Amino acid sequence: MDGRSWTGTAGERDGDDRFRVGSITKTFVSTVLLQLQAEGRIDLDDPVEKWLPGLIRGNGHDGRKITVRQLLNHTSGIYGYTEDPTFQQEVFGTGFLEHRYDTWDPRDLVGIAMNHAPVFAPGTAWRYSNTNFVVAGLVIEKVTGRPYGKAIENRIIKPLKLRATSVPGTRVNVPQPSSRAYSTLVPEKSAPVHDVTELNPSLAHAAGEMISDSADLQTFYRALLKGRLLPKAELRELTTTLPVSPQYPDYRYGLGISWQKLSCGTEIWGHGGGIHGSISEAYTTRDGRHTLAANANADWTGDTQAIIEAEFCGTEPKK
């Protein structure tokens, strides 16, 4: 606030480290689709079938009954491919060490989801699904005729001069400056620790493949919420939220962005993200005056919600 900023690190980290941001990618994807809607090139209430005929079919999935908007706010009911047991073992479990350099075609990721039944009928409930945003990235490619990452680069990264931010595609390394990333690959904290820095991020595609740093993420969310990237109507749509669960009344979800009310009453907007060896958070107040971006390069440790509470409330979260 009032022009002040601070950077803090612990361990062998630098304040300008680049890192994998995981699902924070989703806000970039939603922003591009809302820009395309503002230009009259797509309507978020279009059925997915209009843009990707035949892709969302099988075991009760039907792209004719699912809208692009329902992809972005996680009300499509499409099964999440990252929940598939075989995929989890190959990509998140110890199988990662054998498959870390595999290239995944996004349509094959969607195909994994189509092997399962939907979790609910479109528009009837809320459930987070990474498949939604892989499909959203494919919609961007159909509308623009170019890779979805190029749209993010040309519409967000270049205009905001986000020099540490990239959509890596199949590039396995994280550009310097950066730190190594570590994971146990299994839930047991006492399990062996593995260096998971290098991986082929096509496993996440538009659901979570991007790389950035803390400064760029704060610049992005500040610009987004202050209206620099979207017209007022589209910004209103981005921030129109839905409840996710009666258990979490102080957490709601918009179009690729979440809203939280913290223990002190402060309301923040942004997204969290997790991928092998990297846990990230990026949030801002609605006026863009107070922002936070944080990353841990070990995916089994740390309480990022405590960091958020400390920054925006100055206290530990209430029990």
Q: Which residues are catalytic?
A: 23
One-letter amino acid of 1: M
**Contact criterion met (CB below 8 Å) for 130 and 137:** no
Distance between CA atoms of 235 and 185, rounded to whole angstroms? 38
Say how far residue 118 (Cα) sits from the centre of its chain. Answer: 21
One-letter amino acid of 283: Y
